[in-house]
Structure formats: structure tokens, C-alpha cells
Amino acid sequence: MTKILIFPFLSISTGHHHVADSLQAELLLKSHQCEKIDIFSHAYRRLEKASSAAYLSWIQYFPKVYSSVYHLLACGRHQTAKRHLLYELIFLKDMQQIIAEKKPDIVFCTHALPSYLLNRLKGRFPDMKVVNVYTDFFVNRIWGREKIDYHFAPIKDIKEQLIAEGVDEEKIFLTGIPVHRSYKMERKPGQNGDKKAVCNILITGGSMGVGGIFKLVQELSPNGDVAYQILCGKNRKLYRYVHDLNNPYITALPYIESKAEMNRLYGEASGIMTKPGGVTISECIEKQLPVFIYHALPGQEEMNLDILKKKNLVIELNQQKQQPIEQQLLSFFRSEEDIRRYQMSVGQYLREKSDRDISDILDGIIHNRSGLGNAHV
């Protein structure tokens, strides 16, 4: 039986984990032995919890500093000889120990750091296949390249970037950011949770307590043309605040674990207001839902937003405008031209993706089938 490991990073419920969970679900459906490991928690459990808390505080209270540090350390041209010695000092030995102990046949990396470490270690484990699964719409320079066996690219730009950096085109699959198969079920357009509302907007991105969602909620002033459902996740403070507003057009939703329930909410929504995290955006694109961005966290989300706006895959709301948010939303939904242009951009993005289902690509990698890279990748 094929042994498979999946490496996200940190214990925070981020896109790295959501993509890892989606891959794990696909692999388990095929009865493959599969385990998800966070190298940080595995090696330094207490330190990881402190680091996760520090990270959330950093991006909330010092966003410009975090953005500057992220661009300095992670962005820019990839250099083959570039070493990240601090990462190696802290994690390389533990990663080597895990690989030696677990003896995986295939490893999927949904974060740059495990990819970097495994790129360094690949020479010691030549029979192990390593797959990069990118969870943003850009690739930072920390991700391993040279000894990585396969790459799951979210957009054509990343495929072209990797080829320019010397990656064999046959190793690149234009998969999009993998989303759970539940979200690939057909959506019936025009469904509204509140039948009296012109549009039903689902708001996400408040579960970690960062990202300006309280400010957004305070600016909402629905009068019946728009109804809002706010996914509060495990943020009890946000849930209580929204619930206590006692506004018939603003509903607080608690943490939703069920993918089927989340898919139902997507199906009832006219559009989504969210932050530009790679996975949420990909789920919405898969459902062909208009995406409105109300805030971007520093670093990855800022960069995602720039790329997504250029591709007309999201609409950025302007909270500084005199025009209320409701009017910005309604002006989009009442404009046939805006809707048509948005649908064309989403359609183009979906057509560029591989015409092969990700489960078929996974099967090809696991069973080492030839011709993997030849089908519309």
C-alpha cells in the first residue's frame, strides 16, 4: 500500500490545512494510507502555539511591519543556491527523522517551509516523490523547486513562472487551488436565503478575529435590498456582537464544520464578501459566485488581491467611499455588463485549469503512470 504524508504548517486553520484536508479526503476515498503532519507542532508543540498566537497579533497590530518583513524574506526571484539556515537549524533534523521513520512513498507540501526542507533532503530519500501544492495565487521564493517531482499550480502565471525558473513543464499540473469535492457540486443560480432581499451576501473571514470584520459589520446598514449572513467561525465575540444587533437582515452563523452545510450556504448566496485567501476564493470561483473583498491581511493576501484584481476575479469594495457598501454591491448586481464581464473572467480561469479531475492526477502520481503531464496541464 502507498504511504502518503501531507505537510501543512502551523496549527491555525488556514488555507494550508484546508487544502491538506481536501487532498486527504480524495486520497482516503481511494483507500490510501494518508497522514497529515505539521512539522512545527510535531517538533515544538508549546512553541508552535505561542508562535501562532504571536503571528495573529503581529498581523493585527503591526500589519505594515509584517508586510515589509514578508516581502523581504519571501518575495523576489528564486535562487537555487539560496539557503535558509535558520529554518534548517530549527526543522531539518526533525523532518529527516519523520521521513526516515514514516518511510512515505509520496509527500504533498501545502506550505513553502516543508517544501524547502524536503527539497534539501530529497537526495537522501531518492525513492520518495515530493509534490508542491500551492495555496496562493503566487509562489514565493522559499518553496523548493529543483528536486520537487510535481507541482500543482493555481494559475497559468505560476506555471509560466516555474517553467522560466527551469521546472520541466511535464511536472506541472494546472489544477487551481484544490478545494473539497463537496464544493464542486452544481450550484443553482438565483437562490436566495431571504426571498424578500434582492441579494443574499455571505460574509466570511472573521473566524481568527483579525482582518477588519468588526469595522465592516459596523458599516452595514441594510434596509431590505441586501441580506447578510456572517460566518463567525469560532470567534464568539463576533458572534455575540452580530447576534445582539438584532437586525432582521444581518444573521450570525456559528462555526460550520459540515462541508455539505457550507455548500448549501454557497448555493443560497448571491455573492461573497471575504478576504483574499487562496482557498476561499477558489471555492467561490468553483461555485461561480461573485467575490467582494473588504480587507486583505498583510503579506500573502495583499499579493493575492493584486493578482486577482488584474484577472477580474474579485471586486474590491472601497470602504473609504461616500457610497455605502450596500450601494456598491447593488450597483454590481444591477449592472448586466459588470456581471457579464465577471462571468467571462471566471469562465476563462476555469477553462485554463486542467481538464483532468484532481483525483485522476493523484492516481497517476501514485501509480507512476506515464504521460502525466500531457493532458491540458
Is the domain of 56 the same as that of 202? no
| DSSP secondary structure string for all residues of 145-186 | -TT--EEEESSHHHHHHHHHTT--GGGEEE--S---GGGGSP
User: Cβ distance 365 to 131 under 8 Å?
Assistant: yes
DSSP structural state of residue 318:
-
Is the domain of 345 the same as that of 326? yes
Q: 154 CB contacts (<8 Å, ≥6 apart)?
A: 134, 135, 136, 137, 175, 176, 177, 278, 282
Please give the helix or strand (H or E) that residue 106 lies within, else none. strand 106-109
Q: How far apart are CA 268 and CA 270, in angstroms?
A: 7
Task: Please report the sign of the dihedral spanned by the C-alpha atoms of residue 133, residue 137, residue 142, residue 145.
Answer: positive
Per-residue pLDDT of the chain (377 residues; tens, 9 = 90+): 789 999 998 777 678 889 999 999 999 888 888 999 998 888 787 777 777 777 777 777 788 888 888 887 777 777 666 788 888 999 999 999 999 999 999 999 999 999 999 999 999 999 999 999 999 999 998 999 999 999 999 999 999 999 999 999 999 999 999 998 888 756 555 444 454 557 999 999 866 655 578 888 988 988 889 999 999 988 899 999 999 999 999 999 998 888 899 999 999 999 999 999 999 999 999 999 999 999 998 899 999 999 999 999 999 998 776 788 999 999 999 999 999 999 999 999 999 887 678 888 999 998 875 445 444 44
Query: Which residue range(s) make up the domain with 211?
Result: 182-351
Q: How far apart are CA 124 and CA 112, in angstroms?
A: 20
How many domains, the chain? 2
Angle of the 15-29 helix axis to the 278-286 helix axis, nearest 10: 50
DSSP structural state of residue 339:
H
Is the domain of 370 the same as that of 284? no
Q: Assign 3-class secondary structure to 210-250.
A: CCCHHHHHHHCCCCCCEEEEEECCCCHHHHHHHHHHCCCCE
Is the domain of 130 the same as that of 211? no
Is the domain of 361 the same as that of 330? no
Is the domain of 223 the same as that of 168? no
Is the domain of 347 the same as that of 314? yes
Give phi and psi for 139, each to the nearest 5: -120, 120
Strands 199-203 vs 271-274: parallel, antiparallel or unpaired? parallel
Instruction: Check which CATH number belongs to the domain holding 338 and give it.
Output: 3.40.50.2000
Q: How far apart are CA 284 and CA 325, in angstroms?
A: 20
Q: How far apart are CA 164 and CA 283, in angstroms?
A: 29
**What is the model's pTM?**
0.89
User: Cβ distance 96 to 121 under 8 Å?
Assistant: yes
